[in-house]
Amino acid sequence: MTALKNKDRDRREKISIFDANIFLTGIDFNIFDEIIFTTPGIINEIKIKKTHRNILNKIQVAIETKKLRVRIPERKYIQEIERKSMITGDFNALSREDKDLLALALELREESDQNIRMYTNDYSIENVCSKLNIPFSPIFKEGIKKMIIWEIYCPFCKQIYNTDDLSKNCERCGSPLKRRPNRNKH
């Protein structure tokens, strides 16, 4: 007997902002439902570090499929971040790229009513986020596996099943069930 999963997911579009250290974990972007934003400076930072070819390829594909958007923030947001980080004492700890990334977060928050979240493992970025009420989360390499919730589904009729039904066939149409990663809620 298969209990069907009744998913009541939040359908609003959300925005994630990625720091370089998040890309460098090699994370699979498909875990995220939302559109991912970053700055050209962050992408350059990744290129300069002799990153695994695989990570750069993933970034390239994500840009092409518009899952990942690379954008320069407006000057006024950069200035706001400079002012705020002076107050928090993080100004000197933040690189040019860090400040641009924070400015992009401010810009994205202001231009839309969408939820944004900064993903970074950088303490100073987290600190400024917290002062600006920008939600943030770290993602460590060893934490990635735990983030993935596998969703078992029928590739033909799209019915969702329980995770322990993977080896079974669809009750409706008999197709072998498949699995796909499903983003964890933070």
172 touches Zn ion by CB under 5 A: yes
Return the residue of 55, 156, 162, 178 that touches Zn ion, per CB under 5 A.
156
Span of 48-56, 100-108, 117-125, 172-180 interacting with Zn ion by CB under 5 A: 172-180
Rounded Cα–Cα distance for residues 27 and 121 (Å)? 13
170 touches Zn ion by CB under 5 A: yes
Residues 116-155 that bind Zn ion (CB under 5 A): 154
User: Residue 7 CB, nearest distance to Zn ion (Å)?
Assistant: 16
157 touches Zn ion by CB under 5 A: yes
36 touches Zn ion by CB under 5 A: no
User: Residue 177 CB, nearest distance to Zn ion (Å)?
Assistant: 8
Q: Which parts of this chain interact with Zn ion (CB under 5 A)?
A: 154, 156-157, 170, 172-173, 175
